Structure 1
Amino acid sequence: MSKIHFFTEGTGPAVILIHGYCEIGMMWSDFAKALSEDFQIFCPDLPGFGKSILPHGEISLEETAVVLEEWMEENAIENPIIIGHSLGGYVALALLELMGNKIKGIGLFHSTAFADDAEKKEMRNRAIQFLKKNGVEKFVTSFVPPLFSEAHREEFADAIDLAIEQARQSTLGGLIAFMAAMRDRKDRFEVLKNFQGPKLMIAGTEDGAVKIEASRQQKTAFTDYVELEGTGHMGMIEEKERTLEIVRGFCEKTSLKS
């Protein structure tokens, strides 16, 4: 058994929404409810987050993809559309490399197919040291608010509080393991470019985690590319109605393809 905890809503073509770092599957609850009118939505907790167990002290994105493929087989999830936020996008790309045309379409929500550069790797190393020294609580309360664009933080104070509360459900082992997995992940731009199915990118012009310049460099690899002006790393909250309609339209179009 894969030991992946998840919730599901609706019936119809399968759509998997994968949460990001310091998040849990329940972050997608509003999206799942809205999209469940036309699709069966699956929202897993990645190992070490929420109620899913991290099997051992380290995990790679490749191992995570294998675990999720097993979970799909256990739950008879076939030809899914997979959309991932941030870390969830990295996992979606690892699944794409593993499963190929068994995936109907892929969406990157504030994510990237590129590997970390040297500066980003060093930042992740510092984060790991901070986690080891200070633990989950101090990390998540400092990590989550800057994910939102500075201009939106006061407006979305309640949403930030909820995101912090959900982030507290991360285990220390999960946070350390996936920080290292993100640091060490390989470039999957060619995997993305060579995939013939529908591909969506949603990018924020004020995203501090995935710079808009990097998103623009990948634009030609996507069938659907959307920039959210003035939005940070949390477009599904900062621009919920718009991004929900973008995701709905992408899923509707993708599900109709043979």
Structure 2
Amino acid sequence: MSGIEFFEKGQGQPIVLIHGFCEIAEMWNDFANSLSEDFRIICPNLPGIGNSNLEQSILTMEEIAVLLENWMEEEGILNPIVIGHSLGGYVTLALTDLMGQKLKAIGLFNSTAFSDSQEKKEMRDRTVIFLQKYGVETFVTSFVPPLFPETRREELNSDIKQAIEQGKNCSLEGLIALTKAMRDRKDRFEVLANFKGPKLMIAGELDTAVPIEASRKHQKAVTNYVELPATGHVGMIERKEETIEIIRSFAKSLT
């Protein structure tokens, strides 16, 4: 058994929504409630998040992809559309590398196909040190708010508080392992470009984690590129209704 915890809702074409770093499957609740009117929505927790097993302290994106492929086989999730937010996008690309045309379509949500720069790798190392020193709660409380544009943090205060509370469901070992997996992941731009199925990318104009200049370099590699104005790294919260409809329209165009 894969040991992957998940929830699902609805019937029809399966859409797998993969959460990002310091996030849990439940972040997709509103997406699942709305999109399940038309599709089977399945939202897993990555290893070390919620009650998903973390059986080793060192993980790679490739190993996470194998776990998710096995989980999808167990649950009869065939020919899925897979969409991932941030870290979830890295996992989506690793799945694409592994499964190829067994996936119907893929989507990157505030994510990138590029590997980490040396500067970003060093930031990941500092994240590991911070986590080891201060723990999950302190880290999540400091990590989440800057993902949102400063001009909207007061307006989105309750959403930010909820995101922080959800992030506390991540284990220390899980966050450390996933941080290292992100740091060490390989560049998969060619994987994205060579995938033959439909490819969605949703980018945030004000995203500080995935700068818009980097997102724009993906435009020719995807079939559907959407840029959200005045939006940071958490588009599914900042532009919830709009991004739900973007995903619905993308998925409906395939069925």
* TM-score of the superposed pair, with normalisation by structure 1: 0.98
In the other structure, the counterpart of 2:90 is 90
In structure 1, give the amino acid aligned to 2:117. D
How many residues are treated as equivalent by the alignment? 255
SS in structure 2 opposite 1:203? strand
Structure 1 unpaired stretches of 5+: none
What letter matches 2:243 in structure 1? T
Whole-Å separation in 2 of the counterparts to 1:192 and 1:151: 33
Q: CA deviation at 1:52?
A: 0.8
Alignment of 1:232-251 (within 5 A): 232-251=232-251
Residue 22 of structure 1 aligns with which residue?
A: 22
Residue equivalent to 1:190: 190
What whole-Å deviation, never above 9, does each CA across 1:75-107 have from its counterpart, x for those lacking one?
Answer: 010000000000000000000000000000000
Is 1:207 matched up with 2:207? yes
Deviation at 1:121, TM superposition (A): 0.5
Q: Work out the CA distance in 2 between the residues paired with 1:230 and 1:49.
A: 30
The share of aligned pairs that are identical, in percent, is: 63
Q: CA deviation at 1:152?
A: 1.2
3-state SS of 1:107 partner: strand
Match in the other structure for 1:63 = 63
Q: 1:243 Cα deviation (Å)?
A: 0.7
| Correspondence 1:172 to 2:172 | yes
Mapped partners of 2:50, 2:222: distance in 1: 31
Q: Determine helix, strand or coil for the equivalent of 1:16.
A: strand
Measured against aligned partners, the alpha-carbon deviations of 1:39-96 in whole angstroms (never above 9, x if no partner) come to 0000000010112121111111100000000000000100000000000000000000
Q: Return the letter of the residue paired with 1:88.
A: G
Q: Find the residue that maps to 1:142 and give its secondary structure.
A: helix
Following the alignment from structure 1 to structure 2, what is the Cα–Cα distance between the partners of residues 242 and 18? 18
1:6 aligns with: 6
**Equivalent residue number for residue 134 of structure 1:** 134
TM-score, length basis structure 2: 0.99
Counterpart residue type for residue 30 of structure 1: D
Q: Which residue identity is paired with 2:154?
A: E
User: What's the counterpart of residue 226 of structure 2?
Assistant: 226
Q: Aligned equivalents of 2:49 and 2:145: distance in 1? A: 19
Q: Give how far 1:173 is off.
A: 0.4
Q: Is 1:152 aligned with 2:176?
A: no
Q: 2:124 aligns to what?
A: 124
Structure 2: 5+ residue runs without aligned partners?
none
Give the whole-Å Cα distance in 2 for the aligned partners of 1:103 and 1:251. 13
Question: How many Å apart are 1:166 and its aligned residue?
Answer: 0.5
